[in-house]
Amino acid sequence: MKILRSRMKANQATRGKPLYRRIWFWAGLGLGGGIVALIYGISLIDRTLPDQSELNAVVREQTLTIKAADGTILQQQGETAREQLKLEQIPDNLKKAFIASEDRRFKQHNGVDPQGIARAGLNNLRSQGVVEGASTITQQLARILFLKQEQTIWRKLKEIRLAQKMENELTKDQILERYLNLVYLGGGAYGVADASWVYFSKTPDELSLAQMATIAGLAPAPSLYAPDKNPEAAKRRRDLVLLRMQEDKIITLEQRQAAVQEPLTLKTSLPKRLEVESPYFTSYIQKELPKYVSANVLKSEGLVVETTLNPTWQKVAEEAVAKTLRNQGSWENFKQGSMVAIDPRNGEIKAMVGGKDFGKNQFNRVTQAQRQPGSTFKGFVYATAIASGKSPYDAYEDAPFVVDGYEPKNYSERFRGSMNIRDALTRSINIIAVKVLIDVGFTPTIKLAHDMGIKSELKPTYSLALGSNEVNLLELTSAYGSFATLGLHTEPHGITRILNRQGKVIWSANFKSKRALDADSAAIMTWMLRNVVEAGTGAAAQLGNRPVAGKTGTSDEARDLWFIGYIPQMVTGVWLGNDDNRPTDGSSGSAAYTWHEFMEKAAEGMPVEKFPKRPKLEGRKGTIKAQSIKPKQVLNRSISSDDDSQRESARNSEESGSSRRRRRRRSYSQEEQQSSNYTPRRRRRDRTQESSSNNSSSESSRPRRRSRRVESDSSSPPPRRSRRSSSPANSSGSSGSSSSQPSWRDKLRPSN
């Protein structure tokens, strides 16, 4: 009864107390508040984490990988590995060594391992130091991909939450594969493939059990356990990993004992990610990237760039240019060369050689060098004429000619009289090219060149016909590709796709072809340009039974040597010269032969395709309206030929005063004098005089000393350059004597 009375009194007392003084109220309030705080804290953390779609990231931030068309890596930047291995490519013992070392309950937990945390804390307490980490492999991957390395509670909370989300989004195998490809293991090595190469110069499948344990032991502290920096610490860590592998029944006692006895033998190498293939091309790609992705993406994202480059053709192109610079370059006084190959059907760049040595000079002579194209520009002049309705058989007079004070001259100072357009292009006759330009006009010619792919400024001057306006090799080559595709032009490009960190395509090439020239005119031009290779100045580019079309070009004093040629499937351009614009002793035949050296190998296995047949010429209607120029003054004689006797006297006086040293001057079209019987396999030393059935005996004799062939647009002519005396038969670009005996210089030329 006493107990009952006391309880009743207590209940009465309780009923009389206010709510805030009751214990259960505060207990409930505290529990509820804790739950709310927890939910709020989790939501706050989640708002700072990446979106769910980003959890599939396979590379770190601020990395860049550039790949060739076949998937091989050309260049990498940032914290990344050159080799991304599939999980099945990684040896089983290597995978299990990392699990035993870093996360023994990897298969059981859901991103965070409470048991592992308790065990690590207990072991560290016993050892009075940090001997075991508590972060799971999933937590480490979350930190690698999305977090910084600062040691804060907030970062740890985000790491835990990210790990839980990744476990829900990815499988265990996907998590392990990403981790083994991304974990930093010291020495500049990212991932197990990189580490195998950096420390042992091996692939992962070539590693011994002891070496696998050594690499797995690096993960917690690469700088502390690096075998090349601290071999004793590395061995202790290796042995600990082996012990854990035995405890987890991954290896036997005998295997562990044998591995422990193995000496730590290193064979170090630089990380493969530091290797750069095709550096001129990859530097071009990096400059192109801002056109397709924003600056923020470039700065923060990890990108994979898939390109158009064919590594096999690239190697052949590099060898061809190097061979020419080594051989012809040493004799013809040019030190640089460049080449670019494009598929004209889609605009894809297949090979790019920007110069001799990227390590010494990063200037890309394919995309950055603005040079005078010489007679290669005549292709656009004649294409405009054909498209305006002219026939390839329309004739012009090759005779002394002065227009508004401008006097074009042929290299040989010879005049062939009446000549049709096709033969004038084949022989690269300057005077007729200028006359054709006058008939069709500046505006239509410039517009067509731009439509076909020339991006540089073109000025309306008479010397435009002879290539006085500077262009770069990429645009000139791309423009000639429009002839190969029956007048369609596609923007040249080197990137096919750009992928983000998750492997999703964020940009892909979709360049559309545009009509630049009507198909019939393009086919006629190809027919004419084939004759340049078969019977004219481009004979060195012949490819046996495979049809080739193209055009040579040489600027004033042979400062620039060009050949742009194509087959139906590929257009390739070559430039040779000097960066400082010094004159050379060469001719465009060297460029044509370099083209041949590349294309002969690049075309192996490629089906032989024929060019379209030449369309009917009768009844053709023009697709371009000519806008003929009306000169103020035209003289059909040479200003410098008014008094032949005075010129002969002046020549003899000058030759005597200079101790008979010749001063060879080159015109924009010196290549008109190259031999038309040059075969592709002959060296430059075999090139002799031009063979032409309509030349008189006086024309085939040694040419007179030449004055300036083509006036430039500049106010002052380029400086004259003294040349060493050499046999006329072997002077590049001159009409030699009938003798085929090589000179002493030719006998000393290298054979390869």
Alpha carbon of 501 to those of 134, 426, 438: distances in Å?
Answer: 27, 54, 57
E strands in 47-107: 64-67, 73-77
Beta carbons of 417 and 636 less than 8 angstroms apart: no
- CA torsion 718-724-726-732 (nearest 10°) is -30
Give the span between the Cα atoms of 570 and 549, in whole angstroms: 11
The DSSP bridge partners found for residue 515 are: 488
DSSP state letter for 349: E
Alpha carbon of 513 to those of 291, 292, 489: distances in Å?
Answer: 19, 19, 5
Residue type, 457: E
What are the residues whose beta carbons fall under 8 Å from the beta carbon of 515, sequence distance 6 or more?
487, 488, 489
What are the residues whose beta carbons fall under 8 Å from the beta carbon of 510, sequence distance 6 or more?
none
Which of these is catalytic: 101, 135, 375, 428? Answer: 375
Which of these is catalytic: 83, 101, 102, 283? Answer: 102
Beta carbons of 144 and 102 less than 8 angstroms apart: no
End-to-end CA distance of the chain: 123
Tokens of 498: 């750009």
Tokens of 696: 């008189």
DSSP state letter for 356: S
Look at the chain and count its residues: 752
From the number of C-beta atoms within 10 Å of its C-beta (0-12, 13-18, 19+), residue 350 rates as buried
Residue type, 267: K
Coil, helix or strand at residue 515: strand
What are the residues whose beta carbons fall under 8 Å from the beta carbon of 403, sequence distance 6 or more?
434, 438, 462, 631, 633, 634, 635
Beta carbons of 186 and 65 less than 8 angstroms apart: no
Beta carbons of 421 and 396 less than 8 angstroms apart: yes
Stated as kind and residue range, the H or E segment containing 397 is strand 395-398
Give the span between the Cα atoms of 147 and 133, in whole angstroms: 18
From the number of C-beta atoms within 10 Å of its C-beta (0-12, 13-18, 19+), residue 482 rates as buried
Give the span between the Cα atoms of 197 and 173, in whole angstroms: 24
DSSP 111-174: S--HHHHHHHHHHHHHHTS--S----HHHHHHHHHH------HHHHHHHHHHHHHHHHHS-HHH
**What is the residue whose two structure tokens read 């605009």?**
347
In the residue annotation, 697 being an active-site residue is answered as: no
Give the span between the Cα atoms of 270 and 298, in whole angstroms: 26
In the residue annotation, 102 being an active-site residue is answered as: yes
DSSP state letter for 366: T
CB atoms within 10 A of CB 286: 14
Active-site residue set = 102, 375
